[in-house]
């Protein structure tokens, strides 16, 4: 058995209650409030699939636990993408972490390293950070497109 830990996976689209709520707020022209300096390590479905394949083909992986990720993104960056995608006039307001009163989930830093998977399995993200961000932006745009009709 092999265990993979990851924070948030996405493919051509992405889900998640907090992200969906942010997109809906932006579509309504509301200001997106996010905590400053925190975010999470996203993993693309391609990278996650490749990690499974590497583990299946490695005797060394048996009985181990691996963190898997592709790149780290702050909530400020995500909110900026959402505002750009939706054309929202509301903008982004960053709240200092010690003053954040929003969802607890958004205030935790989910920075996950994959060094052990790299060492044992030869795992490496397929995309660089900038390419990964562009892929995430496309997934968020797909989510926004699916929600846009529901907000009219």
Task: Give the pLDDT confidence score for residue 152 in this predicted structure.
Answer: 47
Position 148 scores a pLDDT of 80
Q: Which of 72, 74, 78 is nearest to 32 (CA)?
A: 78
DSSP state of 38: -
The answer to whether residues 20 and 142 touch, using CB atoms and an 8 Å cutoff, is: no
Burial of 99: CB neighbours in 10 Å, binned 0-12, 13-18, 19+: exposed
Largest CA distance in the chain: 53
Q: Which helix (H) or strand (E) holds 107?
A: helix 104-107
How far, in Å, CA of 73 to CA of 86, rounded? 19
What does the pLDDT read at residue 150? 61
Q: What is residue 74's predicted lDDT score, i.e. its pLDDT?
A: 97
Question: Where are the domains positioned within the chain?
Answer: 3-144
Which whole-number Å values give the CA distances from 129 to 41, 49, 69, 91, in the listed order?
Answer: 11, 18, 11, 24
- The architecture that CATH gives domain 3-144 is 3-Layer(aba) Sandwich (3.40)
CA 70 to CA 82: how far, in whole Å? 20
> Mean pLDDT in each 10-residue stretch from start to end of the chain (152 residues)?
94 94 96 96 97 94 96 97 96 96 91 95 96 97 87 49
Question: Of how many residues is the chain composed?
Answer: 152
User: Cα-Cα-Cα-Cα dihedral of 14, 73, 8, 125, to 10°?
Assistant: 100
**Per-residue confidence (pLDDT) for residue 3, from 0 to 100:** 95
By DSSP bridging, strand 65-67 and strand 3-5 are parallel
């Amino acid at each position: 058995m092999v265990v993979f830990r990851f924070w948030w996976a996405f493919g051509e689209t992405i889900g998640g209650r907090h992200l969906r709520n942010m997109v809906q707020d932006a579509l309504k022209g509301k200001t997106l409030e996010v905590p400053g300096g925190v975010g999470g390590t996203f993993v693309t479905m391609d990278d996650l699939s490749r990690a499974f394949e590497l583990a299946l083909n490695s005797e060394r992986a048996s009985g181990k636990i691996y963190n898997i990720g592709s790149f780290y993104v702050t909530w400020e960056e995500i909110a900026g993408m959402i505002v750009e995608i939706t054309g929202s006039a509301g903008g982004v307001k960053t709240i200092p972490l010690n003053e954040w009163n929003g969802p607890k989930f958004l205030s935790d830093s989910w920075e996950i390293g994959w060094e052990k998977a790299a060492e044992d399995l030869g795992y490496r993200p397929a995309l660089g950070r900038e390419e990964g961000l562009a892929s995430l932006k496309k997934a968020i745009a797909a989510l926004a497109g699916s929600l846009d009709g529901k907000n009219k």
